[in-house]
Amino acid sequence: MAYFPQVKQDNAAGTGASFLPADYIQRKAEFRNNTIILSLFAVVLAGVGGAFVLNNTRKIKLGSEYRELVEQCKAEEAKIEQLKKLTEQRTVMMEKAEITAALVEKMPRWAVLSEVVYRMPAKMRLEEVGMKGTRNTTGGVVSPKSEVKSLTQDVADKQAVAARPKVQAPSFTYDISISGNAKDNNQVADYLSSLKRSPALRDVELTYIKESHDKEIVLRKFEMTARLRNDVPKDKLGQSIRELLVTKTDDTNDARTDAKTDAKAKADAAAKPAAPIAKENE
């Protein structure tokens, strides 16, 4: 009787069978599976939550950085607009300065008269010195070039105000005419040659020379034309006038000395006693 149960026990042990109730084993397996699933779900949920928190943190940080960049861009845009305004003001000021500089006489009139008068021979007489200015065609208002606009251009660009025309500085060319009387043709030739050496004049030409009468004196009436230079250095012009002034002063002193000598000689001749006249029929 005791043998068979032992055989059954060995058989049960050999086959791995359990004496626990089947529903208990099933509940235990389900609990274990549920625990595993819940654990995995908790891990996934923690990962999703961590990713959400991380992304939200990065989003907030990026938003803060974006706002800082926007503020910096606005500040730089304000600086750029200010720089554009300053550039426009500088351009306007430069245009005004160019116009003002063009209106200022580059060749002083007193310097021209000094060159004309100081180069004149001693016994020459000037009758008229005229000057005429001609405006060059390069100056004036220049309209901006029209740009071809596309159909896809923004409304703001279509409504933009056209750029104002640029005013160029006017430039002038001055011609002078010199007329007078000379003693002979040599004086006219010397005066013409001297004017051609003047740093203030160019294109000096003799228009005409003809005979004229002043009471009983025969003179040579002439007329010359020349054009003023606008690019003469001031030091060169000043040096030329100083040299002419020194030469003119020396000539004047020499002329005065000669005049005094002639006057003294005449006075001495007049002061000598007249020779006695022999009486007739002594």
pTM: 0.54
Q: Are 169 and 139 in contact (CB under 8 A)?
A: yes
Place of tokens 């025969």: 218
- Quick check: helix, strand or coil at residue 271? helix
Residue 158's pLDDT is 46
Q: Are 184 and 148 in contact (CB under 8 A)?
A: no
248 vs 155 pLDDT, higher one? 248
Q: Are 181 and 127 in contact (CB under 8 A)?
A: yes
State the Cα–Cα distance between residues 146 and 64, nearest whole angstrom.
45
**Composition of the chain by helix, strand, coil, percent to 5:** 55, 20, 25
Among the ranges given (19-33, 94-108, 186-200), the one the predictor scored with the smallest mean pLDDT:
94-108
pLDDT tens digits along 190-230: 999 999 999 889 899 999 999 888 777 888 899 999 999 88
State the Cα–Cα distance between residues 162 and 144, nearest whole angstrom.
8
At 84, is the pLDDT very low, low, confident or very high (cuts 50, 70, 90)? very high
- Which residue spans within the chain are E strands per DSSP? 125-135, 140-142, 166-168, 172-182, 201-214, 217-228
Highest mean pLDDT among 145-149, 158-162, 194-198: 194-198
